[in-house]
Amino acid sequence: MKVMVPVKRVVDYNVKPRVKADGSGIDLTNVKMSMNPFDEIAVEEAIRLKEKGAASEIVVVSIGEPKSQETLRTALAMGADRAVLVLSDGPVEPLAVAKILKAIYEEERPGLVILGKQAIDDDANQTGQMLAALLGRPQGTFANRIEIANEAVTVTREIDGGLETVSLALPAVVTADLRLNEPRYASLPNIMKAKSKPLSQRPASDFGFDISPRLITLSVVEPARRRAGDKVPDVDTLIMKLKTLGAVA
């Protein structure tokens, strides 16, 4: 069974983003970029399925600028077999991403699509659900456990009330949650091997979709700075201060 894993290049999760002076967006100058952490978990899960014999090939897909090759090479170094980069100059919104992924799905015909539940740059949490709807295939979101047997995938997913287990007929779309696994580090030999693995590039215009943004960012502002707390000498002073602030009657 072939597994397809979409991945996205985002600002590294360890970096504190800076807002541009004019408030038009995030300043990406000299900022470290990396694979979206949830997508990294999805890649790791696909590799584990291959190691168990449940998958035969892993194809990673990314949509973005040419520098997204670095993200795909990381996935290849982790253990993916092949990569596809759809070139786009600007940001692509979730619905357009889902439409492009649907077109690639119809070419590749994977038995399973695993992707991160959301990207940490926009936190949209939409692409996996949209892709499943466009394909007309079952979906298992927020997965923290995946098992494949008898032409079906069993997904244990995180919900507000605890855990829910669903069985999905293959092909299916699954989105990975944080506790699904711990991604491996790529070894130096695998990093070298990844340079020779197939990575094809195609312009987004090949798919015939209008990917121009439907949303306009009016402004971006940093969150309000947290004020320092006040220290009081005793409980009586604390109660008086709380009454002054209207926190207690």
* Cα 81 to Cα 100: distance, rounded to the nearest angstrom: 20
Tokens at 204, concatenated? 């987004």
Residue 124 near residue 118, CB atoms below 8 Å: yes
pLDDT in tens, 132-156: 999 999 999 999 999 999 899 999 9
DSSP category for residue 108:
H
How high is the pLDDT of residue 9? 95
The CATH number given to whatever domain includes residue 27 is: 3.40.50.620
Instruction: List Cβ<8 Å contacts ≥24 apart for 100-106.
Output: 100/63, 100/204, 100/207, 100/209, 100/211, 101/4, 101/6, 101/61, 101/63, 101/127, 101/131, 102/131, 102/134, 102/135, 103/207, 103/209, 104/4, 104/61, 105/4, 105/131, 105/135
Structural domains counted in the chain: 1
Res 105: pLDDT: 97
- Return the DSSP state at 206: G
Could you give the 3-state DSSP secondary structure of residue 242? helix
Secondary structure of residue 239 in the 3-state scheme: helix
Q: Which residues contact 238 (CB under 8 A, 6 or more apart)?
A: 232
Query: How far is Cα 167 from Cα 24, in angstroms, rounded to an integer?
Result: 44
φ, ψ of residue 169 to 5 degrees: the values are -70, 135
Residue with tokens 């995946």: 146
Pairing assessment for the beta strands 26-27 and 162-169 based on DSSP bridges: unpaired
101, 121, 153 from 107: Cα distances, Å: 10, 29, 22
pTM: 0.86
pLDDT digits (tens, 9 = 90+) for 158-175: 988 889 999 999 999 999
CA dihedral 165, 168, 173, 177 (to 10 degrees): 10
The per-residue pLDDT string of the chain (249 residues; one tens digit each, 9 = 90 and over) reads: 999 999 999 999 998 888 888 888 888 888 999 999 999 999 999 999 999 999 999 999 999 999 999 999 999 999 999 999 999 988 899 999 999 999 999 999 999 999 999 999 989 999 999 999 999 999 999 999 999 998 999 999 998 888 999 999 999 999 999 999 999 998 999 999 999 999 999 999 999 888 888 888 888 888 888 888 888 899 989 988 888 888 887
- Largest interatomic CA distance in the chain: 72
The answer for residues whose C-beta is within 8 angstroms of residue 14's C-beta and 6 or more apart is 32
Residue ranges in 109-168 assigned as alpha helix (H): 127-135
Retrieve residue 82's tokens: 């092949």
Task: Look up the domain containing 85 and give its range.
Answer: 2-245
Q: Are strands 9-11 and 33-35 parallel, antiparallel or unpaired?
A: antiparallel
